[in-house]
């Protein structure tokens, strides 16, 4: 698939990616493997999809070099209105580490904040900025509006 490179930040990512929303762990494994073998080079997952383990197994099973694919995953930062505490710096880093373990990866190419809650985003951005300075295992991060 064609690669698009942004002139501003030089990130190379496929124009089309394979998303894992609403896939079970087993479905994620087989679908990600098949998607990569069919030519996809960008895989998208999220903490809230509860299938990162299968996504990681699918990436590994495809046998494609890690250098040849982009992986995006998302952090759910918490949401007070749902009575889910917002994550602080330590919890954000722990979540990323757990996600990497499930994905069987050393890093993700893009780490998104999977929420539209502005207050949670502000705290999470602060955490991610601190993590970036401490060389956490993500290359870029951004927001995902629901």
The pLDDT value given to residue 89: 82
Quickly tell me which residue has 């955490």 as its tokens: 127
Beta-ladder partners of 70: 42
The pLDDT value given to residue 77: 86
Q: What confidence tier does 99 reach under pLDDT thresholds 50, 70, 90?
A: very high
Residues with a catalytic annotation lie at 49
94: pLDDT strictly greater than 60: yes
The pLDDT value given to residue 34: 99
Quickly tell me which residue has 């590994």 as its tokens: 60
Mean per-residue pLDDT for 91-108? 93
Mean per-residue pLDDT for 127-135? 61
CB within 8 Å of 94: residues ≥ 6 apart: none
142 against 144, higher pLDDT: 142
* Domains in the chain, CATH or no CATH each: 3-144 (3.20.20.100)
The DSSP letter of residue 67 is G
């Amino acid at each position: 698939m064609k690669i698009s490179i942004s002139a501003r930040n030089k990130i190379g990512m496929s124009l089309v990616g394979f998303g894992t929303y609403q896939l079970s762990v087993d479905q994620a494994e087989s679908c990600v493997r098949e998607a990569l073998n069919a030519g996809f080079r960008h895989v998208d997952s999220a903490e809230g999809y509860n299938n990162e383990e299968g996504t990681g197994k699918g990436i590994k099973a495809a046998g494609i070099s890690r250098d040849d694919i982009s992986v995006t995953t998302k952090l759910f930062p918490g949401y007070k209105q749902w009575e889910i505490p917002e994550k602080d710096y330590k919890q954000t880093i722990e979540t990323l580490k757990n996600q990497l373990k499930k994905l069987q990866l050393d890093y993700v190419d893009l780490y998104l904040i999977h929420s539209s809650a502005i207050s949670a985003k502000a705290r999470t951005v602060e955490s991610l900025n601190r993590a970036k300075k401490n060389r956490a295992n993500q290359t870029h991060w951004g927001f995902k509006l629901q």
